[in-house]
Amino acid sequence: MHKLFVATLGVASLASVGCANANLFTVEDDIELGQQLSDEIAASPDDYPVIARADAPDAYTELERIKNSVLSSDDIVYRDEFAWELKIIDDDETLNAFAAPGGFMYVYTGLIRFLDREDDLAGVLGHEIAHADRRHSTEQLTKAYGISALIAVLLGDDPGLLAELAAGLASLQFSRTDESEADAWSVRYLCDTDYAANGAAEFFRKLDGASVPAFLSTHPNPENRVEAIDALALELGCSTEAYGEGRYQQLLDGLP
Residues making contact with Zn ion (CB under 5 A) = 179, 182
Instruction: With beta carbons less than 8 A apart as the criterion, state whether 219 and 226 touch.
Output: no
> Smallest gap, in angstroms, from Cβ of residue 159 to Zn ion?
30
Per DSSP bridges, beta strands 97-100 and 104-108 are: antiparallel
Instruction: With beta carbons less than 8 A apart as the criterion, state whether 109 and 128 touch.
Output: no
Q: How far apart are the first and last CA of the chain?
A: 45
Long-range contacts of 230-236 (CB under 8 A, 24+ apart): 230/198, 230/201, 232/184, 232/187, 232/188, 233/187, 233/191, 233/196, 233/197, 233/198, 236/187, 236/188, 236/191, 236/197
> Smallest gap, in angstroms, from Cβ of residue 219 to Zn ion?
7
> Smallest gap, in angstroms, from Cβ of residue 40 to Zn ion?
20
Select 175 or 239, whichever has its Cβ closest to Zn ion.
Answer: 175
> Smallest gap, in angstroms, from Cβ of residue 182 to Zn ion?
5
Q: What is the DSSP annotation of 84-123?
A: -EEEEE--TT---EEEETTTEEEEEHHHHHH---HHHHHH
Select 122 or 154, whichever has its Cβ closest to Zn ion.
Answer: 122
Select 95 or 182, whichever has its Cβ closest to Zn ion.
Answer: 182
Select 62 or 179, whichever has its Cβ closest to Zn ion.
Answer: 179
Select 134 or 250, whichever has its Cβ closest to Zn ion.
Answer: 134
What does the alpha-carbon distance between residue 188 and residue 229 come to, in Å, rounded to a whole number?
10
Instruction: With beta carbons less than 8 A apart as the criterion, state whether 98 and 48 touch.
Output: no
> Smallest gap, in angstroms, from Cβ of residue 254 to Zn ion?
25
Select 8 or 173, whichever has its Cβ closest to Zn ion.
Answer: 173
> Smallest gap, in angstroms, from Cβ of residue 152 to Zn ion?
29
Q: Cβ-count burial of 59 within 10 angstroms (0-12 exposed, 13-18 middle, 19+ buried)?
A: buried
